[in-house]
Structure 1
């Protein structure tokens, strides 16, 4: 999260069952990237709306890809890369160092206690547990950065499985959230390890101060998309904090840490052919992620069937 206000618990680490799945053989053997193919079709003169439907991507997302493609090409042709690239690199390195240093310092402290012969036997187990938790946070932060690097290089390929939406919701931290609507029959085809991280980060973002009165999950089908919305009831999130959520790294007002906010969630949503966003008024905030319907269901008006937790 970009800002970590007092009383807000960072996202709980999810179990790491695997590593980043990169493409074998290096970049030279990669198959055509759908993003590049879609952009080239737009640049060749095809209507953006038609290309977006054909490739099952959001129109706004496709516009962003085209803009990024042309900006990068201009910088390469003129041999004048934008100055923000170096600043982003330095910011990234400083942020990553901070993210690693915090749990590493905690782990070193607990190791020091374990090496102390005067530590009571009853406290050894508790110390080992704290050490385990600190190392878990360290592994989680490292994995987040690994995912970001793979996504930015276009090397991230989600492993798609059919998963019930109710199962995804049940994986959220804290208590099982309030669910609005009948979702027991809805399913998506997503990576079972990566996509829950998107929903987890949206759920955590909805807990930003000022503390919400309640949080719930809404699920719906909108044309070729399934949309999961984490709705927070209460005072709106301050605009500056809301904008910073989508930046790659930032420092909380209380200097409690530098984290990746919803930047990774957005990268993972894009890797699934979807997008994330936020809508807010005076009484509620909705943080949403949208992914394509399973292909064999896209032509049907009946919601796709899935499993239940």
Structure 2
């Protein structure tokens, strides 16, 4: 499950900042992705645990990035691409087709109703409403795929600025206030971070209905972390795994299709990571965005 783990509360609470000789945020102002910077430090001889502590991140995540980096490099050098790539592509196409099928079917049915003569005005008005909703769903799905394709090709433009997370939260369904860290700013693209937060918020409200959902923001030396905290019946590990790797879980019984794929892709475009943690009472969905350098914070 990319960038996601199910942890106990004790480990979740461990967000200490270990001192390092340099400022890890320097990567935000350069052309080097923070994750690549961490991998290169490990490959240069530093312990992964030391690099992870400097960046306020879990060591096992750094180990996985190093492994993935080496696997990808081996595939490029040997001219033997990962055999799973075609399978992932086919799963993605199947997922996308599943996302389109329902609104297309609904739109087709109501268009046939409108084509019939003598349709009562109230039924015609309802047909137009349903058609509009179906077209909106189609438009959203197509935009999702465009975003995913742009990210995979490295073509997403991330226009970073200091963003008030509280303002983005007020645009969510129910207009929630940020519970903790309301005054903190994230250095991110406002439109993309808004989309990430929306996806986390909607995921946190999936069935079975939670008792409450809140937004918290915290800062470490390297990251601004935006958390969507769900209290009550937790989201099961199996569903979380499907949400982060949705291509094989597109049946109607789970409701999982694109899942958090877009949110993760947009987080990756910021040089950050998306994850999930939880216990028997709580599920925490989070996005970590690299903090800017001191010079950028003062600008």
Q: CA deviation at 1:255?
A: 3.9
Q: 1:288 to 1:35 in 2, by over 3 A?
A: closer
Structure 1 residue 77 displacement after superposition: 2.9
TM-score by length of 1: 0.74
Paired with 2:295 and 2:179, the residues of 1 have a C-alpha distance of: 22
1:275: which partner in 2?
A: 273
The answer for the alignment partner of 2:143 in structure 1 is 143
Aligned-pair Cα RMSD in Å? 3.2
Distance, in Å, in 1 between the alignment partners of 2:254 and 2:278 is: 26
Q: After superposition, give the CA deviation of every residue in 1:151-181 in whole Å (9 maximum; x if it has no partner).
A: 12222221223321111111212x1235323
Bigger helix share: 2
Counterpart Cα distance in 2 of 1:69 and 1:220: 29
Structure 2 regions of 5+ residues with no counterpart?
A: 1-29
**Equivalent runs, 1:100-249 vs 2, <5 Å:** 100-173=100-173, 175-177=174-176, 179-183=178-182, 185-249=183-247
Residues 298, 32 of structure 1: CA spacing in aligned structure 2 closer, same or farther, 3 A cutoff?
A: closer
Structure 2 CA distance for partners of 1:153 and 1:58, relative to 1, 3 Å: farther
Give the 3 Å change call, closer, same or farther, for CA 179–32 of structure 1 in structure 2: closer
Given that 1:98 and 1:258 are in contact with CA atoms closer than 8 Å, whether structure 2 keeps it comes out as no
Report deviation, 1:228.
1.3
| 1:86 aligns to 2:81 (yes or no) | no
How many residues are aligned here?
Answer: 268
2-structure distance, mates of 1:256, 1:130: 24
In structure 1, distance between residues paired with 2:157 and 2:207: 35
Q: For residue 191 of structure 1, report the CA deviation from its aligned partner.
A: 1.8
Work out the CA distance in 1 between the residues paired with 2:218 and 2:89.
38
Which structure 1 segments of 5+ residues have no match?
1-30, 305-309
Instruction: Give the 3-state SS of the residue equivalent to 2:238 in structure 1.
Output: helix
Kindly indicate whether the alpha-carbon contact (under 8 Å) linking 2:217 and 2:225 is maintained by their aligned counterparts in 1.
Answer: yes
- SS of 2:244's partner is coil
CA contact (8 A) 1:38 1:51 kept: no
Aligned partner of residue 276 in structure 2, secondary structure:
strand
SS at match of 1:129: helix
Confirm or deny: 8 A CA contact 1:95 1:258 kept in the other structure.
no
Aligned-pair CA distance for 1:58: 5.5
Q: Determine the structure 2 residue equivalent to 1:26.
A: none
Q: Tell me the secondary structure at the aligned position of residue 194 of structure 1.
A: helix
| In structure 1, C-alpha distance between the alignment counterparts of 2:129 and 2:171, rounded to whole Å | 22
Compute the displacement of 1:53 (Å): 10
Residue pair 1:151, 1:271 contacting (<8 A) in 2 also = yes
Maintained 8 Å contact 2:56/2:221: no
Secondary structure in structure 2 of the residue aligned to 1:105 = helix
Alpha-carbon shift at residue 257 of structure 1 (Å): 5.1
Change in 2 beyond 3 A, CA 1:281/1:262: same
